[in-house]
Structure 1
Amino acid sequence: MTIHPPDRHDFARSVPVRLWDEGFAADPYGRYRALRAQGAVGWAELAPGVPAYVVTDRRAALDLLHDEETFSHDPRAWESTVPADSPVLGMMRWRPNALFADGAAHLRYRTTLIDVFDLVEPHDLRGRVHRAVRLLVGRIGPRGEADLVGDFAEPLMALVLNDLFGLPESQGDRLHSGVGKMMEGGDRAAAGEAEYAQYVLDLIAAKTERRGDDLTSRLLDHPAGLTREEVTWQVFLTLGAGYGPTANLLSNTLSRILGNPLYYSTLTDGARPVMDAVVEVLHHETPLANYGIYYVRRPVAFHGVWLREAVPVVVSYGALGILAEREATGGRHPNDASHLSWGAGAHACPVKQHTLLLVTEAIERLTQWLPDLEPVVPRDRLTWRPGPFHRSLTALPVRFSPRSPASESSGVRP
């Protein structure tokens, strides 16, 4: 029997599961269990008064991700139904880029992005990461203590991305400030969107005036002939997607490694690769927990639920990673094929390998230079930023023996 969910006027009588409050940040898995109890598709709120269908079943998620005829990434019909000051609009409003496009437009944008990122050779990216880690260890190493979120993961991503896209190191704080506010989706979301948009506009203006050996210049000169506006929105997408989620993947992985002494000891002697920890994070603390957002082109029955137009349908990678893994593996160690954090189908992440290389190289280099990192706060007492879309630590304080990259005692040559 097809289940028809209540219309918008009945939401007060059918309380949706909140994905935006402090309770969700503290215990997302409890909220995911509540959604899963409703079936393959549950009811949730992405912000006060912003309901969404949430897919927590792996089979249903794969059906959605591979069905371009039924599901679209274009949010404009939904946009017209929400207040202009909705805190999630910064992350969800339509823009002419690869994320919010379908069909031929999506293929054109996506192919252009793949082409320019394919020109970033692994050894080149590795070198950029090494230089950034060296710079940051030079700042924090002599202190003997640091916050691996605010002092390492976030500034590392700002350094690497500014380098790749063609802005100087001094602009990193603007990237961090704007994207961070947008992803939290709270009262500061609109200000964050404006800050980040201005950062991107300044970058495009600089590269339009003077090209360089960078991703922005390659986009401007790509044979696909993207307009300046189209390039602006591809950069808006890729910088934002590259900064926040990758910084979170990096800090969440460091947290998992440092929170398990046996894990950390085998990592530092090379017995257990960093990639094992990254895969565990993609299951348990995936950085983009609820950002697989689609919309039905017409009302349709889907896995027992009647989906209506202009209501977001969210693939919950956070719920899928932990819940589907337990069903599929019986709790055994996860493998990289049993989660969907990279998406699937036409909109699967096009720069997965770049992201994995960046994160693993950063952790390996950091733990070579600072091999005795010790967490200050027990892992179960770490706090997480609120927001419906991400899984993001507020801080990861550590202490270690003071040193610098130039120190011979580090055992690593620059």
Structure 2
Amino acid sequence: MTTPHGYSPPPADGFGARRPAATALYGPHLDGDAMPGLYEELRRTHGPVAPVTVAPGITAWLVLGHRELLRLTREEQDFSHDPRHWSLLREGRVPADSPILPFVGWRPALLFADGQQHRRMRAAVSDALAGINGHELRRGVRVAAERLIASFADRREADLVPHYARKLPMQVITGLLGLDDRTGQRLVHAIAGMVVANADSANASRRMNAILLALIDEKRSRPGDDVTSALLHHPARLTDEEVLHNLVVMFVAGNQTTVNWIATTLRILLCDPAFRSSLTGGHLSVDDALDLVLWRFPPTQNFPARYATRDLTFGGQSIKAGDMLVLGLAAANADPSVLPPGGSPVAGNRSHLAFGAGPHTCPAQDPARLITRTAVDTIRHRLPDLELAVEESELAWISSPWSKGLAALPVRFTDPQLPLAQRHPRPDRADRPTHAAPQTGEPR
């Protein structure tokens, strides 16, 4: 394994050696601007694999090295995706109300499976996503984006996180699943209540399951042109339970990462004059801009998790069987060993790890890119004089060990350029999306 310049691995004291002191990967002091410095401090102190805590009392290893992260994602025999290997969970040392459980608790879904079982479920998910009609999806995203912009255009100000970046992917993704708008809103509220891990989390989880099971029951008897129907009628023959939990994974992972990708791209456009000038002047395409964002600020900074299947030395650390390892996607993208001289990726370079790597590479990256590209392009053209309404240093962040997304992005503008049909939207239709219906068919 390569190690950073100036770093010397600790002596090999055997697997009984005391674990080095862990650094908290969560807390209000770790906003999006503080994270790059933390990753570099961890790299200098520990090398490519660093001890961290991801919740109170929950220790893990953060994989910071690019080469190490590729090995972590590719070698399933040493690093399983199944949390039932996790020693803290097996030994009952994870509190039932731990905020980490919604993300790492086992489900019969592709995110928590290895080998043949993973390949079977991934084939169904990949084929269902490949059946989405890209032209229809782009049109649906654009229409929904224009309706959202019209809903706040008269105010000449907005908060682009709750009013745009958070609403748009939810509207599109619930439509792709085959849910109507009202039921989609109920699903969003249920999942939000489940993830916050409070006294109502169990009820929220039950509400989520009830909504999705009703959808599955409907689509099994009356299939349509949607992702749920494609999963149910795929040759992989997923059970209703497997369809349920793969839908949960697709919705939770796909929705929040797209929210972050849209919001972060808009923040950089507003706060980085050189970036904005390059895009406006045609020196960067929108896709080039999106990839530079994925290099510097991936929507998911740290992704849970892999679990060691045996004792081994990895990245200079003594890893024990059952240890959790977290994919440090943002840190690995910034690994000096893979960046060109000067430390900045070249435009058009898509070798970043924002979507993971190996067998579990995100299967939804193409529709996520299309949604994000259309969302960014639409607001750039409809609100050409958009500017930040506060100082960049005043922006608020959501604190999580996994994602450092913006909590708010207040903006102002003076001259919205809306299509004629959207200039005076009816109040009861302003936020109503037009869903892009996927078309099931042959796999790519």
TM-score normalised to structure 2 length: 0.84
Matches within 5 A, 1:188-267: 193=205, 196-267=208-279
Q: Is the 8 A contact 2:80 2:307 kept in 1?
A: yes
- Greater alpha carbon shift after TM alignment, 224-233 vs 19-28: 19-28
In structure 2, how many angstroms separate the alpha carbons of the residues matched to 1:43 and 1:187? 30
Cα 1:325/1:21, change in 2 over 3 Å = farther
1:310 matched residue in structure 2: 322
1:42-68 Cα deviation digits (max 9, x unpaired):
100010000001110111111222212
Structure 1 segment 274-285 matched on structure 2, within 5 A? 274-285=286-297
Do 2:150 and 2:422's aligned partners in 1 also have CA atoms closer than 8 Å? no
Q: Gaps (5+ residues) in structure 1?
A: none
Distance 1:266 1:123, change over 3 A: same
Query: Distance between the aligned counterparts of 2:199 and 2:219, measured in 1?
Result: 32
Aligned residue pairs, count: 407
- Pick closer, same or farther for the CA change 1:288–1:193 going to 2, 3 Å: farther
| TM score, norm. by length of structure 1 | 0.90
Match in the other structure for 2:427: none
1:399 is matched with which residue? 412
**Does the Cα contact within 8 Å between 1:154 and 1:176 map onto a contact in 2?**
no
- CA distance in 1 between partners of 2:270 and 2:202 (Å): 35
Identity rate, percent: 34
Cα 1:181/1:402, change in 2 over 3 Å = farther
Q: Deviations over 1:358-390 (max 9, x none)?
A: 111111112111111111122233121011111
Distance between the aligned counterparts of 2:243 and 2:283, measured in 1? Answer: 44
Matched, 1:28 2:35: yes
Out of 337-346 and 199-208, give the one that drifted further. Answer: 199-208
Q: Distance in 2 between matches of 1:45 and 1:301?
A: 20
User: What SS does the corresponding residue of 1:301 show, helix, strand or coil?
Assistant: strand
Per mean C-alpha deviation after superposition, the further-off stretch among 399-408 and 157-166 is 399-408
For the aligned residue pairs, the C-alpha RMSD in angstroms reads: 2.7
Q: Structure 2 residue aligned with 1:346, among 352, 355, 359? A: 359
| More RCO (CA 8 Å, sep 6+) | 2
Structure 1 equivalent of residue 429 of structure 2: none
Match of 1:44 in 2: 52
Change (3 A) 1:255 1:194: farther
- Is 1:19 the counterpart of 2:29? The answer is no
d(CA) in 1 for partners of 2:373 and 2:57?
39
Shift of 1:330: 2.8
**CA separation in 1, counterparts of 2:200 and 2:335?**
32
Cα distance change of structure 1 residues 286 and 179 upon mapping to structure 2, 3 Å threshold: farther
Compute the displacement of 1:160 (Å).
0.5
Question: What SS does structure 1 have at the residue aligned with 2:29?
Answer: helix
Q: For 1:216-245, what per-residue CA distance to the aligned partner results, in whole angstroms no more than 9, with x for missing partners?
A: 011111122111111111111111111011
What residue ranges of structure 2 are gaps of 5+ in the alignment?
Answer: 1-10, 424-433, 435-444
Q: 1:194 to 1:308 in 2, by over 3 A?
A: farther
Deviations 1:142-185 (A, max 9, x none): 22111111000111011101111111122343344444566667
Tell me, yes or no, if structure 1 residue 379 matches structure 2 residue 392: yes
